């Protein structure tokens, strides 16, 4: 766990966040001219130059450049190291294989809100396996806005989406492939509980990033050796930044609790839920290793090229 970093706004140029090109690059955000300070968006009454003279504006500029400083004001706890990494990393593809209760949904909500506020006209898509989960995740986003020093002006606010005055939108989608068609140019897509999001939805999502060159983040506890979450975790494609957070690395989960879980839920369940392991699904006839050992790249498929 790293300490919460709230820079001294009086001496912003001497803090850990001097605003230099290197800082901007490190924080994983866009070049400075592409970022609109929050106050400017929220109240629309300062020019950037004027705003820079105020304490609020310095804070906003820090928030814009560093999602972790922003997070320090919207949640009342210190972020874990992996959450810091998730928020700051400039990687275009990230995959987090996490224990239950690691803080996945919270991190997704912070990331979404930061992007929408500081990058005008961003489309942020939050994808969850079910309507219930997408409603819950969206509620996390709206709860966070209550903690902002100034709430972003919304032009629209539905149960599952909000549009800000700066033109950014956050849309929380349940895991049905049809729901995602019709959106284009997403600058950030986060799949929460990705191991349970259907693969056809994932296939529909990916082309959206082609033009926008947006960021794609998958966060999940494993769910058997199947599906796109398992594939992306294991396929060694170098584009992905892969991070594993087992329960033993989560400071809020005690060894006593884990021992009790192992006893009552059984080893198979425990390894999946708390140790981030892609264990064989209980209902399969042939296990994964057996199937893979029967497959060879060297044999030409009998019906290759035959259309259905
Ligand atoms: N760094 C943190 N410090 C303290 N509490 C945290 C931190 N991150 C998340 N939490 C809290 O931990 C709880 C679980 O967070 P969250 O729902 O985001 O986890 P999750 O990984 O999505 O869980 P689940 O596996 O059940 O979906 C929430 O109460 C959240 O406020
Ligand atoms: Mg969650």
pLDDT at 93 over 70: yes
The pLDDT, as a whole number, for residue 283 is: 57
Residue 15 contacts by C-beta under 8 Å, 6 or more apart in sequence?
A: 7, 8
Q: Report residue 7's pLDDT band, with 50, 70 and 90 as the boundaries.
A: very low
Percentage of the residues of the chain whose pLDDT score is greater than 90: 56
The pLDDT assigned to 152 comes to: 82
Phi and psi angles of residue 191, each rounded to the nearest 5 degrees, phi first = -100, 120
CA distance 206 to 209: 6
Name residues whose C-beta falls within 8 Å of residue 58's C-beta, 6 or more positions apart in sequence: 9, 12, 52
pLDDT confidence of residue 281: 63
Give the ligand at the shortest distance from the Cα of 102.
1
CATH of segment(s) 9-282: 3.40.50.300
**Structure confidence by residue, pLDDT tens digits, 17-59:** 334 445 444 444 444 444 444 444 444 444 444 544 566 777 7
Q: Calculate mean pLDDT across residues 174-181.
A: 82
Secondary structure (DSSP) of 186-204: -SEEEEETGGGS-HHHHHH
Q: Which atom of ligand 1 is found nearest the CA of 83?
A: 1
Mean pLDDT lowest among 81-85, 162-166, 265-269, 294-298: 294-298
How do the domains of the chain map onto residue ranges?
9-282
Determine which residue's CA is closest to atom 23 belonging to ligand 1.
101
The per-residue pLDDT for range 243-293, each reduced to its tens digit, is: 999 999 999 999 999 999 999 999 999 999 999 999 976 556 655 555 556
Give phi and psi for 219, each to the nearest 5: -130, 130
Contact 79 CB / ligand 1 (< 6 Å):
yes
Q: How far apart are CA 79 and CA 102, in angstroms?
A: 11
Nearest protein CA to atom 12 of ligand 1, as residue? 103
Local structure of 69: helix, strand or coil: helix
Residue 77 Cβ inside 6 Å of ligand 1? The answer reads yes
Q: Is the CB of 104 under 6 A from ligand 1?
A: yes
Evaluate if residue 6 carries a pLDDT over 50: no
Distance CA 307, CA 67 (A): 48
**Ligand 1 atom 26 nearest Cα:** 101
Q: List phi, psi (to 5°) of 159.
A: -65, -30
CA-nearest residue, atom 2 of ligand 1:
79
Looking from the CA of residue 80, the nearest atom of ligand 1 is 1
Q: Is the pLDDT of residue 235 over 90?
A: yes
What predicted TM-score, i.e. pTM, was given to this entire model?
Answer: 0.78
Distance CA(294)–CA(291), nearest Å, equals 5
**220 by DSSP, 3-state: which?**
strand
Q: How far is the CA of 97 from the centre of ligand 2 (A)?
A: 12
Q: Does ligand 1 come within 6 angstroms of the Cβ of 279?
A: no
Mean pLDDT of the chain: 80
Closest Cα to atom 28 of ligand 1: 103
pLDDT score at 175: 84
Give the pLDDT confidence score for residue 262 in this predicted structure. 95
The pLDDT tens digits of the residues spanning 259-271 come to 999 999 999 999 9
Exposed/middle/buried for residue 129 (C-beta within 10 Å: 0-12, 13-18, 19+): buried
How many CA atoms does the CB half-sphere of 193 hold within 13 Å?
Answer: 20
């Amino acid at each position: 766990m790293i300490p919460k970093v709230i820079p001294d706004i009086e001496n912003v140029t001497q803090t850990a966040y001097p605003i230099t090109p290197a800082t901007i690059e490190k924080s994983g955000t866009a070049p400075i001219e592409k970022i609109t300070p929050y106050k400017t968006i929220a109240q629309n009454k300062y020019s950037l130059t004027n705003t820079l003279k105020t304490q609020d504006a310095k804070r906003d500029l820090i928030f814009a450049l560093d999602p972790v400083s922003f997070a320090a004001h919207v949640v009342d706890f210190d972020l874990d190291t992996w959450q810091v990494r998730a928020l700051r990393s400039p990687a275009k593809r990230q995959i987090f294989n996490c224990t239950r209760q690691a803080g996945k949904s919270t991190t997704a909500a912070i990331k979404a809100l930061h992007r929408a506020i500081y990058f005008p006209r961003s489309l942020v898509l939050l994808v969850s396996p079910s309507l219930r989960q997408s409603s819950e995740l969206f509620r996390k986003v709206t709860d966070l806005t209550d903690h902002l020093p100034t709430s972003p002006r919304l032009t629209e606010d539905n149960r599952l989406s909000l549009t800000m005055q700066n033109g950014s939108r956050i849309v929380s989608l349940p895991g049905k492939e049809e729901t995602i068609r019709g959106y284009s140019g997403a600058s950030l897509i986060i799949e929460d509980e990705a191991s349970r999001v259907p693969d056809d939805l994932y296939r529909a999502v990916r082309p959206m990033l082609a033009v926008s060159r947006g960021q794609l983040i998958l966060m999940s506890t494993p769910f058997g050796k199947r599906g796109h979450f398992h594939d992306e975790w294991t396929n060694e494609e170098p584009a992905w930044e892969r991070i594993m957070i087992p329960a033993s690395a989560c400071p809020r989960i005690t060894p006593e609790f884990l021992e009790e879980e192992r006893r009552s839920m059984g080893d198979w369940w425990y390894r999946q839920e708390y140790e981030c392991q892609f264990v064989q699904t209980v209902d399969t006839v042939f296990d994964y290793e057996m199937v893979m050992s029967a497959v060879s790249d060297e044999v030409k498929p009998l019906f290759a090229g035959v259309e259905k």
